[in-house]
Amino acid sequence: MADESFYPELLHDSTHQQINDSKEFVELVKLLPHYQLTIPEAVVRHHLQKVGCNPSDGISTKLIALATQKFAWDVLEGALGFERQLNETTGEETPLTAETLILALREHNIAGLE
């Protein structure tokens, strides 16, 4: 069972009532302290501060880190899919390349990569 004391100010703040009515969001918030992120919160916090964003609570940083992790995994999964297609076409087993990574990033509307 998730720790109910994690971020209690968010879960019991009346200004967040609409968010708190979402059972999925409340469960996510309760599970966050137990979730091991691939990208450390300190790294996310550093980059947020670098662009002028200074989240005042830990939940924002952790949610951004989780969203960033999901995006990175989606891009990687797409790149591996492109690599598998290429391997089937050529009959060779090749490692992940920058070319397939760029293709995957373009699938996620990240442009300007050459």
Dump pLDDT digits (tens) for 21-30.
677 877 887 7
The pTM of the whole model exceeds 0.85: no
Q: What is the mean pLDDT of the chain?
A: 81
Dump pLDDT digits (tens) for 45-62.
999 999 999 887 777 888
Instruction: Please return the burial class of 29, using the count of CB atoms within 10 Å of its CB with bins 0-12, 13-18 and 19+.
Output: buried
d(CA 19, CA 71) in angstroms, rounded, equals: 23
Domain ranges of the chain: 57-114
Query: Assign residue 52 a region: left if phi > 0, alpha if psi is -120 to 50, beta otherwise?
Result: left
| Distance of alpha carbon 105 from the chain centroid | 15
Dump pLDDT digits (tens) for 70-107.
999 999 999 999 898 888 888 888 888 888 899 999 99
**Token code pair at residue 71:** 């995006």
